[in-house]
Structure 1
Amino acid sequence: MNLFTFLLVVSSLCLSHNANVDAVDAINATISTEEDLELDWQLKLRNQIPVKTVKTNAGLYDCIDIYKQPALKHPQLQNHEIRMRPTFLPNGMVSKTSSSHKTATATLTSVDCPQGTVPIRRYKKENLIRAKSFSDSHVSNIHPMTKEYPGQHLAILRSTKLEPQRGIRATMSLNNPHPVDNTQASMAEMWVQSNVGDQMNGLQAGWI
């Protein structure tokens, strides 16, 4: 089975967008018993017993033992050794800060977790439903701004090389987005995604 790995840099601007919210309600209303059990299983897998729980404006964060974090349940990470710093850098890879780099002025949510734990936002069932809805309507159906999708635009840069990828970088920004309500969002994100057959794993970072 071929391993297809690609890098995905997404900059999206979603305006006047009610479809995602409507889709969540629609999926929630028509969800089958089997799918509901699957969601419960995923919640149990993600929400571990915390050492400490921190309440913020962005929601609840659980401080999880670093060795019991959900990511380590992946079959390929069963014997993973956690290191706080890399012991080496692959040939041709350099750790540096761009000369144009500027410190972000946005105030980020601070979660004060004890040493030896990692902060993980507590999942709710609606979070999983919303993620599925977003994936179905945006990731699998990438499209430019058109009459069929008014107020939505996705710009994609994707590599098709099948060689190992050991790091990525991108310059992203959100500049003076117009006021939005809870049905709208502006995002600039960087994704690393790996597909094996119909199984997908991914990491993403950026601004929303």
Structure 2
Amino acid sequence: MSTRIRIALVVNLLSLLFLITIVHSNQSTVPLRSFKISENVTYDCIDIYKQPGLKHHLLKTHKIQMKSSVSRPELKMQIGKNETSNKRKIGCPNGTVPILRNTKEYVTNSQMFAEKHFHPLSADSPGTHIAGVRSTTGPFRGVQAWFSANSLNVGKNQVSYSQIYIGSGSENQVNYISAGWIINPGLYGDQRVWTFGFWKGKDEKGCYNTACSGFVQVSKVIPIVEPYYLKTGVPAWMRYSIHQDRNTGNWWITQHMEDAPNEDIGYWPKELFNLLDDGANMVGVGGVVQASPSGLSPPMGNGNLPNGGRQDSGIFANIEVLNSNYEQRKMNYFRTENLLDSEKCYGLRIGTVKPFHRTHLGFFFNYGGPGGISCGV
């Protein structure tokens, strides 16, 4: 064999080895599996230890917590059949988690809307209207509730959402976590109902879902953000809780399932916050809308004022909190404050249920309304 042939073989062999090395090194960034839910919605199954949430600069030494140490009891309620549940289409392989494939436009828009995301510890936000209940007699370790999600006509420059939330404020600093459902065509590109999680921590910057690093996804079947397919006039029931882990101090979001074990979706690590180490000073639940620049406010809840029966308007039910000792109490066990800033367009009606009533509504309230052009600022 000539020297020239030997050199050619060696070069080819080295090239092959180099190619194999490159492919192997890139396997961690290539999803093991993907799920295309609709035209513009795809989830990638990413190695749980290489998920984008862990790239946050405050999480360089963070160790993933696989399961919450706080047992969350089932939420029992009989108010209406959940005819439009979100059928599971995602089931990532073991060791991976579903991450929404973000577009540059989605990431950019999420940063813009994060700056506008209203919370009751902030100054009034122009064009924002709220209807709900909160308590500021903490510290609290968590909050949970049942609530209905509804299809609504929300414009591209409008937002309507319903949420459970916790938070603490000190001087000009705010730590805040919320979760629920949202219709935000400017962010998601459609009028569907989407689940969401939102947080604001040490750096004073907010973030939705996995649009930026910070949230740690743990469930392989339920992502922090996903669309719901709802029929007009037919609500879907959601059952969420946010709670602080007793052992680690991380803040978990759990979806309470019907006729199935609860699913811990994931958590916001304690390292992201500086005012939530010993619980949150405030907990709350309610609806929020953001008007368009023209001043036209979108509908809230299911679009109806709470003037009829319990199922005729938006509803939060079985609202309970964890006190500083992780004891579960109905929210009205503590001093509560009603939040309603536009009676012209929205309403709030606190419910009452007799003990042992078969509906198991617990502490609940109806809320919402049609919105309009004269809702105030």
The interval holding the TM-score normalised by the smaller chain is 0.5 to 0.7
Deviations 1:161-192 (A, max 9, x none): 45251x32123223463x34544443222234
SS of the counterpart of 2:145? Answer: coil
* Residue in structure 1 matched with residue 90 of structure 2 by the alignment: 111
Return closer, same or farther for 1:161/1:188 CA change in 2, 3 Å cut-off: same
* Residue in structure 2 matched with residue 186 of structure 1 by the alignment: 160
Return closer, same or farther for 1:127/1:201 CA change in 2, 3 Å cut-off: farther
Give the structure with the higher percent strand: 2
| Structure 2: gaps of 5 or more residues | 1-28, 183-192, 194-377
* Residue in structure 2 matched with residue 170 of structure 1 by the alignment: 145
* Residue in structure 1 matched with residue 32 of structure 2 by the alignment: 51
CA distance in 1, matches of 2:81, 2:55: 34
* Residue in structure 2 matched with residue 79 of structure 1 by the alignment: 63
Correspondence 1:154 to 2:133? no
Task: Please report the TM-score for the alignment, with normalisation by the length of structure 2.
Answer: 0.32
| Structure 1: gaps of 5 or more residues | 1-47
* Residue in structure 2 matched with residue 98 of structure 1 by the alignment: 76
CA distance in 2, matches of 1:116, 1:141: 42
SS of the counterpart of 2:136? Answer: coil
Give the structure with the higher percent helix: 1
The alpha-carbon deviation at position 103 of structure 1 amounts to 5.5
CA distance in 1, matches of 2:46, 2:169: 28
Q: Give the CA RMSD over aligned residues.
A: 3.6
The alpha-carbon deviation at position 95 of structure 1 amounts to 0.7
CA distance in 2, matches of 1:68, 1:195: 32
Correspondence 1:67 to 2:46? no
Deviations 1:78-135 (A, max 9, x none): 123313xx5554xxxx612223365533252622322332111012222232223223
Q: Greater RCO between the two (CA within 8 Å, min separation 6)? A: 1
Task: Please report the TM-score for the alignment, with normalisation by the length of structure 1.
Answer: 0.52
Kept in 2: contact 1:59–1:122 (CA 8 A): yes
CA distance in 2, matches of 1:68, 1:199: 29
* Residue in structure 1 matched with residue 177 of structure 2 by the alignment: 202
Return closer, same or farther for 1:88/1:111 CA change in 2, 3 Å cut-off: closer
Return closer, same or farther for 1:72/1:133 CA change in 2, 3 Å cut-off: closer
Deviations 1:2-47 (A, max 9, x none): xxxxxxxxxxxxxxxxxxxxxxxxxxxxxxxxxxxxxxxxxxxxxx
CA distance in 2, matches of 1:194, 1:61: 33
The alpha-carbon deviation at position 154 of structure 1 amounts to 2.3
Return closer, same or farther for 1:204/1:194 CA change in 2, 3 Å cut-off: farther
The alpha-carbon deviation at position 201 of structure 1 amounts to 6.1
Rg bigger for which structure? 2
